[in-house]
């Protein structure tokens, strides 16, 4: 611990109080000593709690998982937006085949859909900022602890992974695997 750290200062204060005491303790001195003793126990508890924090779990599992999930959200949002835009183009092709009044109404609605799809770009930019912030936090934690994030979380069962919702594309179970599993129940 660096010189002048809180533990050192508390210990020095306790020693100073103890060395100044002579004979029987007054009520005030006993109260001060009890306060210092409790302060020391509080510091020891705080140190134990900090030591118990699983930094490896944060940098090795939580932050990478969060960034992967956010990256997947961006990708799925982009894919859905592209599907919507493709459908708009097909509707525009049909627009010429309907009457003028209905064609104009379709054109107006398609334009509204195009405008609404701008959410995807804005959402992607905001999520990218969050991902960058999480990665910066992960690097700072790793630098402060002198470690690197672990690649694979330990002790996570397949059932637990499935219970946590949609899978990332790289970890997703294929439809063939699902079909084989379901066929085993029959």
69 phi and psi angles, rounded to 5 deg: -65, -45
Nearest to 55 by CA among 149, 136, 133, 132: 149
Give pLDDT tens digits for 37-61: 788 788 878 777 766 666 667 777 7
171: DSSP letter: G
Residues 89-104: what's their mean pLDDT? 90
Condensed to tens digits (0 to 9), the pLDDT of residues 8-20 reads 677 777 777 767 7
The percent of residues in the chain predicted with pLDDT above 70, rounded, is 68
Q: Cα(110)–Cα(113) distance, rounded to whole angstroms? A: 5
| pLDDT, the chain, mean | 76
pLDDT tier, 172 (very low <50, low <70, confident <90, very high otherwise): low
Q: Extract the tokens encoding 55.
A: 């930094």
Across 80-94, 120-134, 138-152, 159-173, least confident range: 159-173
Structure tokens at 170: 């790289």
Least confident residue range of 34-48, 118-132, 137-151: 137-151
């Amino acid at each position: 611990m660096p010189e002048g750290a809180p533990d050192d200062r508390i210990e020095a204060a306790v020693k100073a109080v103890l060395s100044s005491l002579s004979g029987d303790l007054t009520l005030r001195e006993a109260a001060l000593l009890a306060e210092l003793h409790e302060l020391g126990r509080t510091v020891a508890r705080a140190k134990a709690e900090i030591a118990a924090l699983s930094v490896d779990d944060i940098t090795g599992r939580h932050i990478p998982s969060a960034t992967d999930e956010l990256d997947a959200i961006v990708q799925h949002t982009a894919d859905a937006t592209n599907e919507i835009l493709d459908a708009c183009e097909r509707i525009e092709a049909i627009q010429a085949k309907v009457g003028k009044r209905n064609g104009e109404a379709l054109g107006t609605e398609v334009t509204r859909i195009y405008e609404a799809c701008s959410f995807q770009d804005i959402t992607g930019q905001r999520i990218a900022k969050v991902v960058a912030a999480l990665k910066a936090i992960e690097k700072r934690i790793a630098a402060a602890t002198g470690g690197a994030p672990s690649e694979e979380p330990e002790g996570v069962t397949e059932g637990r992974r499935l219970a946590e919702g949609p899978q990332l594309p790289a970890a997703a179970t294929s439809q063939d695997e699902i079909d084989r599993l379901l066929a085993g129940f029959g």
